[in-house]
Amino acid sequence: MTKVLWNNLAEARPEFDTDATSDGEALIEYAGRNCYQSWTKPNPATATIGGYLANIRTQGHFSVYEHTNVTFDFQGVSRSLTHELIRHRHFSFSELSQRFVNMEDASMVTPPALVGNDPTGMLVDAREFCRTVYAGLVEVLVGRGKPRKQAREAARAVMPNMTETKIVVTGNLRAWRHFIKVRGSIHADAEIRVAAYGVANWLIELFPDAMADVEFEMQDGYQCVRISHSE
């Protein structure tokens, strides 16, 4: 929700017409035009939302992208992924708590390189071993009088990075562009690269003009994301 605050002595806000297909893109345009009071759109090249946002990207004025926020709910991802995700400090996070949630039956996320590539079953053995040790530690600690929350917070130490988690992430569009730029790269971790690819697809669907410079390409057999204009 955008709240407009007025000074009683200020002039009334001029009519703002836009051909943007989403409120998020309309907000970006409004913020940009507000800087220069260019409400009449005198330049035909930037009169449309597509042309206006293309010029914003060319000029590198990405601060106006920060007014539009997007929230993603990541499900079925590993703690390995979220350990990297939380390094993006312009995001806000709410992640599943291993102190409160029982990890004994937690799902495990197989790293992409190991999908169909574990002929000896070592990965499966590791999963079961960790679950068994976790359950045993919780039982012992609860039996010694520890509250279940304290027992779980101690026992979670044996759970591997591939333990499945859930996390809600909110960030502005500028921050999400940076995320898909660095995490959609061939140099990024394979699991988070898949996530960045999904985020990019959703953002393109939500904001086609704001994300018009995002492209997908194959590199070394992997689907990667490329952004033409970045900071």
Q: Per-residue pLDDT for the chain (231 aa), expressed as one digit of tens each?
A: 555 555 544 455 667 899 999 999 999 999 999 999 889 999 999 999 999 999 999 999 999 999 999 999 999 999 999 999 999 999 999 999 999 999 998 999 999 988 888 778 899 999 999 999 999 999 999 999 999 999 999 999 999 999 999 999 999 999 999 999 999 999 999 999 999 999 999 999 999 999 999 999 998 788 899 998 766
Extended beta strands in the chain, E state: 69-78, 92-95, 164-172, 214-219, 222-227
Question: Which of the residues 57, 127, 156, 183 is marked catalytic?
Answer: 183
Predicted local confidence at residue 140, as pLDDT? 98
Distance, CA of 62 to CA of 149 (rounded, Å): 44
Name the burial class of residue 133, with classes exposed (0-12), middle (13-18) and buried (19+) by CB atoms within 10 angstroms of its CB.
middle
The length of the chain, given as a count of residues: 231
Known catalytic membership, residue 183 = yes
Each domain of the chain, given as residue ranges in start order, spans: 23-66, 112-162
Provide the 10 A C-beta neighbour count for residue 26: 18
Predicted local confidence at residue 5, as pLDDT? 52
Contact 170, 92 (CB under 8 A): yes
